[in-house]
Amino acid sequence: MNVVPDTSVVIDGRVSATIEDGQFEGATVSVPEAVVAELEAQANDGLDSGWDGLTELKRLAELADEGAIDLEYVGERPSAIERGHASEGEIDALIRDLAEELAATFVTSDIVQAEVAEAKGLEVDYISPEVRRVGTLAIEEFFDDETMSVHLKTDAVPMAKRGSLGEMRYEPIADEPMDEETMDEYAREVVDGAREATGGFIELSEPGMKIVQFRNYRIAIARPPFADGIEVTAVRPIAQTDIEDYEHADELKARLLEHQRGVLISGSPGAGKSTFAQSVARYLNDNDYAVKTMEKPRDLQVGPEITQYTALGGQMAKTADALLMVRPDYTIYDEVRKTDDFEVFADMRLAGVGMIGVVHATRPIDALQRLIGRVELGVIPQVVDTVVYIEAGEVSTVYDVKTEVKVPAGLTEEDLARPVILVTDFQTGEPAYEIYTFNRQIVTVPLADEDERESGVDRLAKGEIEREIRSIARGYVDVDLVSQNKAVVYVDQDDISTVIGKGGGRITDVENRLGINIDVRTHDQNPHQGQDGANASPSSAKPAGQIVTPEITSRHIVVPVEGNPGETVEVQAAGEYLFTATVSRGGEIQVSRGSAIADELERAIDRKDPITVVRS
């Protein structure tokens, strides 16, 4: 009797088992070189199937040495082109051709191979894959009721994370380090169990890395060269909660049921984000919403009525396309990390699906900021209208997110009104942050603490002023913020006229863009440089000037100046410095109404303060 096995039955180890049962005893087993090539390639890629197949070949050699069979290797190794088309059946066809050429019985545990071979007239012995009942894994012995994760590695003492949410301890759970042989056995048992057990599957299989779901355990297996040793990390949920167990539950429930929303559940690793997401999923399902999940890997603990999807063809975008056909009311996206994840989340939300994303963040606002740059700023409130921050297993903060056209906090000019994303504390109704575009930059300004808000605006304003002036001046630029509405810029003497511009037009343009009054001075006048007269006010250090009577027109405030055109002067009100300007050819200074400088000058005129022009 002559037998030709294919790759599937060699990997399963069923050829040697059948020989030992007496069925193929005394037969000639002809192993195709194509099978050896496939097994070698898989083993080189770090796949267990390759190593399992090579182990079976060694067992066949032992049986041949014992005289139970005759063993030979036949055929030629497949070419690179044939190996490249293995998924299309090229190598399978080579193996079938050898069986036909040798008039041998073709042995396989691949039902498709068996059907094709029978259709081509071959004698086929189909051995169905052995399914064994899987009980518990050896690694499960390391878990107790308080264990969230177990961490095993070659030559390292086994460790575990134990405790309650927010109070985890990373501690040793054995006295001796693990040896490589034991680690290899654990890793193989996990993979075999995932293949054979109900509720088990291999989520990810890459050279050097496998992620397995075995019942309620998510197990990651790393091998060299990806890792520096065999490592097995098993994680399971230790808490299952209901949404009623959380603070603010009633408000959150009403918010979720009101209509489909975009929610980010955020928190640091181990804070209980996924546990809260599970409780939300169950609550929505119990209230007649169709709920699905998007997970890679799948490890949320939800009931069978909630279907858990992973990346379709390795891409969550394809999963999203499929889900839009399924039309869920809510989708739980665990976890949203990369740019592609945020884009998929946004696309589904804008398509009208309620989305709940789980995001790593160390502060509540950080979850929202992770959308910036990935999603267009103007649509963020349409994508996410609620941020829930979980800390130590509790709902710590809930933010409401919406858009309003207004003047951002810390700015004063009405012409600076723009769309502003308002982030408000859901419980108190107090504004916490504003997010908006300021001079082509997206900024997030905290509002909850007055001092923090002012320092944030100050830093923003100072940076923008420095950037604007440095684009004009040739020398060093220093900025001193006098208040939120006024700044003093110190430049080199040679840069004064360049920065101010003809008739003060250039600095006025900068003031209008930034909405802040800017006084331009030389570095010699900077009191922080330790110069003489540093304690004197800018106005007191100047000689007395001429009192003028400004004229207010529909578009400008015109300040008449007696003297030479092109001369640099300071304009003061009641002895207080207002601004520096250059006299025009017509012997006047024009200030555009609506600017910060014009408003301050106009208020001084209304107060009947004496307006003085002082030559620099």
Percent of the chain with pLDDT over 70: 88
> Domain ends where: 235, 263, 294?
235
Amino acid type, 375: V
Domain membership flag for residue 132: no
Nearest CA among 62, 35, 60 for reference residue 49 = 35
Q: Is the pLDDT of residue 228 over 70?
A: yes
pLDDT category at 598 given cuts 50, 70, 90 is confident
286 with 401, same domain: the answer is yes
180 with 75, same domain: the answer is no
pLDDT at 142: 94
Q: Is the pLDDT of residue 452 over 50?
A: no
423 with 514, same domain: the answer is no
100 phi and psi angles, rounded to 5 deg: -70, -40
Tokens of 548: 């003028």
pLDDT at 86: 55
Domain membership flag for residue 455: no
Domain membership flag for residue 583: yes
pLDDT category at 213 given cuts 50, 70, 90 is confident
- The sheet that has 231-235: what strands, in order across it? 167-172, 159-164, 147-153, 231-235, 217-222, 209-214, 200-206
Could you tell me the CATH number of the domain that includes residue 151?
Answer: 3.30.450.90
DSSP character for 524? G
221 with 282, same domain: the answer is no
Domain membership flag for residue 453: no
pLDDT at 575: 72
Task: Using alpha carbons, list the distances in angstroms from residue 540 to 280, 544, 574, 611, 612.
Answer: 67, 9, 12, 15, 13
299 with 431, same domain: the answer is yes
- Check if the beta carbon of residue 127 is closer than 8 Å to that of residue 9: yes
Amino acid type, 205: S
> Domain ends where: 126, 160, 195?
126
Domain membership flag for residue 329: yes
253 with 377, same domain: the answer is yes
Domain membership flag for residue 133: no
As a whole number of angstroms, the distance between CA 330 and CA 354 comes to: 4
Nearest CA among 479, 486, 443, 445 for reference residue 463 = 479
**pTM to 2 decimal places:** 0.55
- Please provide the DSSP assignment of 327-360 as one string: --SEEEEE---SHHHHHHHHHHHHTT-EEEEEEE
Domain with 376 in it = 243-448
Domain membership flag for residue 408: yes
Could you tell me the CATH number of the domain that includes residue 258?
Answer: 3.40.50.300
As a whole number of angstroms, the distance between CA 299 and CA 295 comes to: 7
291 with 171, same domain: the answer is no
114 with 149, same domain: the answer is no
Buried b vs exposed e over 343-373: b needs ≥16 C-beta within 10 Å? Answer: ebbbbbbeeebbbbbbbbbeebbbbbebbbe
Report which listed range, 387-401, 434-448, 457-471, 568-582, is most confident.
387-401
As a whole number of angstroms, the distance between CA 429 and CA 399 comes to: 9
| pLDDT single digits (tens) 301-339 | 888 899 999 888 889 999 999 999 988 999 999 889 888
Tokens of 97: 């051709």
pLDDT category at 543 given cuts 50, 70, 90 is very low
178 with 308, same domain: the answer is no
Q: Is the pLDDT of residue 274 over 70?
A: yes
pLDDT at 541: 36
**Sign of the dihedral through C-alpha 172, 175, 177, 181:** negative
pLDDT at 531: 39
As a whole number of angstroms, the distance between CA 189 and CA 198 comes to: 15
| pLDDT single digits (tens) 26-79 | 889 999 999 998 888 888 876 777 888 899 999 999 999 999 999 999 988 887
469 with 444, same domain: the answer is no
- Check if the beta carbon of residue 247 is closer than 8 Å to that of residue 311: no
> Domain ends where: 102, 126, 150?
126
| pLDDT single digits (tens) 160-190 | 998 876 677 889 999 999 999 999 989 988 8
Q: Is the pLDDT of residue 532 over 60?
A: no
pLDDT at 150: 95
Three-class secondary structure of residue 309 per DSSP: strand
Buried b vs exposed e over 113-142: b needs ≥16 C-beta within 10 Å? Answer: bbebbeeeebebbbbeeeeeebeebebeeb
Domain membership flag for residue 491: yes
- Mention every residue, 6+ apart, whose C-beta is less than 8 A from residue 313: none
505 with 586, same domain: the answer is yes
Q: How many CA atoms lie within 13 A of 447 on its CB side?
A: 18
Q: Is the pLDDT of residue 200 over 90?
A: no
226 with 276, same domain: the answer is no
pLDDT at 374: 85
pLDDT at 538: 36
Three-class secondary structure of residue 53 per DSSP: helix
- Check if the beta carbon of residue 267 is closer than 8 Å to that of residue 273: yes
Give the mean pLDDT of 216-224: 89
Domains: count for the chain: 4
Q: Is the pLDDT of residue 358 over 80?
A: yes
As a whole number of angstroms, the distance between CA 96 and CA 71 comes to: 18
pLDDT at 386: 94
